Structure 1
Amino acid sequence: MYTYKYKDLAFALYEALIPDPFYIELLREILGGEPEKREILMKYMDYSMKEGEKYGRLTIAGDPAYGATIWSQPLNPATDNEKSLLKKDFIKTHMGEPALKAYSTILSFMTEQLDPILHDAWYLSIAGIKPSSQGQGLGANLLMEILNETDKNGISTYLETFTPRNIRFYERMGYKIAKEVSEPVTGCPYWIMIREPLKVSSGVLYERP
C-alpha cells in the first residue's frame, strides 16, 4: 500500500499538470475512470516530491501549500542509476507496465535531445501551482528560491515544457528556448529551455551582458 507524505500538494500538482501530454500518455492505458487516474497520478507526484528531497531539491510554497518545484541535480553514475531504478520500480508497481514503457521510451528520447553541456546543470523536472492560485504572480516566487542559489553558485538550469503558454513565463524568468522537438510517443512538440546564471559581484546580482 502506498503511503503519502504530501497528499494535498500531490492533488494540487495533479490539478495543475493533468493537461500535460506527458502525463496523459502515462495514464493512457490505466483502467477505470477519472478517480482512478487521479489517484495514480497523485501517487506519482508524491513520489516525485520525495525523490526530489532525496536526490535533488524540493521547494514548497504557501501555507497551506499552493505549489511546488522539483529539481534534479547532477549525480554520480551509481546514485543516478539507483534513482532511475527506484523510479521505474515505482512506476511499474503503482502505474503498470504500459505506463513504464511510455515513461522509459519518452525519457530515453528526451535525454537524447539534450546538449551534453547540460549534464552539469540543474533540471527543473516538475513545477506546478494549483489552478485556483494561478494568475496571481506566485510562479516567480516559487522558482526564485532555487534560481537565486544557482545564480550565486554560477550554475545553469534547464527545463522542458509541452505547454506553449508557459514559454513566456519562463522567458521572463531568464530562460531561453534552446530547441523545439517533436516527441514521437505523445505526438506533441515540446521546448527545451536553458537559463544561464546571473552574474554575482559582492553579493549583488547583475543582469547578463
Structure 2
Amino acid sequence: MDYLFEYRALSETLYDALTEDVFYKIMESSVAGGPDQRREAMLRYYDYSIKEARQYGQLCRPNGKAFGVSIWSKPVNGDLSQQIANQRKAFLRIHLSDTCLAKYTQITGGMAEQTEKVVPPGSWYLSIVGIAPAYQGQGLGGRLIRPILDKTDELGLHTYLETFTLRNMRFYQRLGFQEASAFDEPGTKSPYWVMIREPS
C-alpha cells in the first residue's frame, strides 16, 4: 500500500536523531524485511506521529530548516482518546507489522501505567523530540521545546516526558524538568526516567 508523506524531511531527521534510542530500535527490529524496508517503515511512523500531533496535539519545528522537531500530546476526552489510539493501532498494523503493534502496545501500555502514578492529571506530554546529528551540540534543542513550555506556563499546566537516555536528562533539567521516578521497562530490558516540569 502506497503511503503519502507530508513531512518526509522531518521524518528523516527524527530517524537519524533517534536511531540509537532503545524504544525505536525495538520497533524497527520488529518490522519484516531488510534494512531499507525497516527504515522506510520507521519514516512512515514518524510522519504519522507528526501529522497526529498537528491534528490533536502540538508540533514545534523551526522555520526554514528541518533540523529537528518536537511532538506533543495534549489531554483529550475519553472518546477522542480511544479514537486516536484506534487510528494509531490501525496504522501500525498496516504500515509496520502485527509484531510491531504488539511490541508497541506492550511497551507503551506498561509505561503509561507507571507514568500515571507520578504525573499530574491534565499534563502535556513531550512524546518525541529529535535533532539531526549535524545540528546537535549547537544549543538548538531548546528552540524545539521552549515555545510549548511558554504556552503551558500561560495555561498553568505541567508537562512531562519519558527518556531511556540518561545523558539527556541534564538537557531537560536546564529546561525546568525534574526527575519524578525511574522504572525498568521489561520489553526493552532497559531503565527509563519520568521527568516533570511545573508551570512557572
TM-score (normalised: structure 2): 0.96
TM-superposed CA distance for 1:63, in Å, is 1.4
TM-superposed CA distance for 1:18, in Å, is 1.5
Partner in structure 1 of residue 17 of structure 2: 16
Question: Could you give the per-residue CA deviations for residues 63-115 of structure 1, whole angstroms, max 9, x where no partner exists?
Answer: 12111111100000010000000000000000100000000001110011023
Q: Which portions of structure 1, spanning 4 or more consecutive aligned residues, are displaced by more than 6 angstroms?
A: none
Distance in 2, matches of 1:136 and 1:106, equals: 32
Question: Could you give the per-residue CA deviations for residues 27-72 of structure 1, whole angstroms, max 9, x where no partner exists?
Answer: 2232333222111111000000000011100111141211111110
Partner in structure 1 of residue 166 of structure 2: 164
Distance in 1, matches of 2:65 and 2:169, equals: 27
| 2:164 and 2:193 in contact (8 A); partners too | yes
RMSD after superposition: 1.1
Q: Aligned with 2:67: secondary structure?
A: strand
Pick the structure with more strand per residue. 1
Q: How does 1:1-209 map to 2 (within 5 A)?
A: 1-115=2-116, 117-198=119-200
Q: Aligned with 1:61: secondary structure?
A: coil
Distance in 2, matches of 1:101 and 1:114, equals: 20
**Structure 1, unpaired ranges of 5+:** 199-209
Identity of aligned residues (%): 43
Distance in 2, matches of 1:157 and 1:171, equals: 13
Over alpha carbons, which structure has the higher Rg? 1
Distance in 1, matches of 2:120 and 2:4, equals: 34
The residue type paired with residue 110 of structure 2 is F
**Structure 2, unpaired ranges of 5+:** none
Q: Aligned with 1:71: secondary structure?
A: strand
Distance in 1, matches of 2:3 and 2:116, equals: 36
| 2:28 and 2:39 in contact (8 A); partners too | no
Q: How many residues align?
A: 198
| 2:32 and 2:97 in contact (8 A); partners too | no
